[in-house]
Amino acid sequence: MTKINIIRWITCLLLTFPQLSWAQTEYSLSLKEALQYGLENSATIKQAKYDQQKAKFKEGEVMSSGLPQITAEGQYQNFPNLPVQILPGELIGQPGSDVEVQFGTAYNANATIKATQIIYNQSFFTGLQAAKSSRELYRLLKVSSEEEVLYEVSTAFYTAIQLESQLAILDSNLRMLNQLEDLMKVQYENDLVKKTDFSRVKVNKANLNTQYQSLQAAYDQQKNYLKLLLGMPISHQISLKKPANLQDISLQSIQHEREEQIQMKILEKQKTLTQLKKKSFSAGYYPTLSLFGQQMWQGQRNEFNFFDNSQPWFQQTFWGVQLQIPIFDGLKKHRQIQQSKVELEKMSLQQTHTERQLDMQFENARKQLTNSLKSVKAQEENKELAKEVYEQTQSLYQEQVSSLTDLLDAEQAYRESQNNYYIELINFKIAELDLLKAQGKINTIIN
């Protein structure tokens, strides 16, 4: 096949099956689907998982120091000149003189195996407790990351839905203005309306087009931000499914019981780790008891024949117990313990402050949700009223009873009331998220 035929064949295939080119990169997401995707692919959650795995291996590292430590080593020595020792002449019947004697062999080799085992070390046991607590801390941090992703993705999703609704409103208004422009054009050509009235309609249409383009850019940027939160490549295309119950609003979430927030659990675990750190410094005053042993094989040759089985290898074996008792370290451990005490006091203060902060967020979220519900109801009534005024003004204008100014003002008021309604509706949904987060129940949003 020629290059031209290949290009034609590929073009025909894409035109026949256009979905093939987008099958891997286009997603249509509901809120629940977006949340599930975020929990599986968010970079923040993946980092928290890596930290959790690292803490698991760290616990194993600490535990390994309490297991037997075994090392093996080998050494080969060659002496072109044997070392000389000076001996008194009395040993060989030459009193009053020094005799130079060479000891050893030209070729020496040895192999050694050493083993140590901790019998008692308080610092080890405390470190093992700290490693286990650290692993639990990173589990809590992962849960915190998941809750944060659920909140941020939900907020970004609702904001995108709000912009999408505003685009739909502007699109509907543009279609109405197009119809009005067509009507005005015919009337203007038949000298039924003034040129200024016709021009005003065109100006309003141009302004709406500009607003639509700006809003479209903001909508695209918001979807890109949502993709970033989800851990999705920016090049992928997404469309959002508007929740079927978006306009169903109530104060049901206020009735939920408040649970202990993950922030307090994290602070409590961090405080436990600090207490173990202080305990570890105190453990430095305890003695350490260890068991050790060594097995060594040594070969001494005047010729390099270490692989000759008829030549002997000399063994040396010993084992023992070692006790280390700390006596004085220049008050180093004492200073470290004092620092830990100060750090514990600081963490207690942080716990109190965080608890009060969470109480404030809970109370503010409850009040905000109640006020937001009232605002949604008011804007809904205002929207219906503005729609009624616009439809009446449109009828009066067609009957030439109302002026173009009244019609354009009514159209603008109706458009603004629609926008205000959707803004307040999304504000209510976000206030509901804030309350669920303050109640420690943000994870229920996925259900």
Q: State how far the Cα of 142 lies from the Cα of 191, in Å rounded to an integer.
A: 72
Confidence class for position 245, pLDDT limits 50, 70, 90: confident
Is a pLDDT exceeding 60 seen at residue 299? yes
Mean pLDDT of the 159-181 span: 88
Mean pLDDT of the 217-245 span: 93
Confidence class for position 182, pLDDT limits 50, 70, 90: confident
Residue-level pLDDT at 111:
94
Residue-level pLDDT at 255:
79
Mean pLDDT of the 99-126 span: 90
31-35, 209-213, 396-400: lowest mean pLDDT where? 396-400
Three-class SS of residue 109?
strand
Is a pLDDT exceeding 90 seen at residue 415? no
Output the average pLDDT for the chain.
Answer: 87
What's the predicted TM-score (pTM) here? 0.81
Burial letters 411-427, b for 16+ CB under 10 A, else e:
bbbbbebbbbbbbbbbb
Is a pLDDT exceeding 90 seen at residue 345? yes
Tokens 């080799």, located at residue: 109
**What's the token pair of residue 173?**
């208004």
Residue-level pLDDT at 291:
95
- The per-residue pLDDT for range 65-89, each reduced to its tens digit, is 899 999 999 999 898 888 888 888 7
Pick from 141, 162, 152: nearest CA to 228: 152
% of the chain with per-residue pLDDT over 70: 94
Is a pLDDT exceeding 80 seen at residue 163? yes
Residue-level pLDDT at 18:
44
Residue-level pLDDT at 149:
96
Mean pLDDT of the 361-378 span: 93
Find out whether 258 and 440 touch, Cβ atoms under 8 Å. Answer: yes
Confidence class for position 8, pLDDT limits 50, 70, 90: low
Mean pLDDT of the 216-231 span: 95
- Residue 118: partners with Cβ closer than 8 Å, 6 or more residues away: 65, 66, 124, 288, 289, 290
Alpha-carbon distances, residue 212 vs 9, 81, 168, 169, 181 (angstroms): 39, 95, 9, 10, 18
Residue-level pLDDT at 133:
93
Residue-level pLDDT at 278:
94
Residue-level pLDDT at 9:
52
Mean pLDDT of the 433-444 span: 91
Residue-level pLDDT at 267:
95
Is a pLDDT exceeding 90 seen at residue 2? no
Is a pLDDT exceeding 50 seen at residue 95? yes
Residue-level pLDDT at 1:
46
Residue-level pLDDT at 403:
80
**What's the token pair of residue 63?**
């535990």
Three-class SS of residue 77?
strand
Is a pLDDT exceeding 70 seen at residue 17? no
Higher pLDDT pick, 338 / 204: 338
Mean pLDDT of the 272-293 span: 94
Mean pLDDT of the 349-358 span: 95
Domains in the chain and their CATH numbers?
Answer: 23-81+121-292+330-446 (1.20.1600.10)
Higher pLDDT pick, 91 / 328: 328
DSSP assignment string, 111-155: EEEEEEEEEE-HHHHHHHHHHHHHHHHHHHHHHHHHHHHHHHHHH
Q: State how far the Cα of 355 lies from the Cα of 361, in Å rounded to an integer.
A: 10
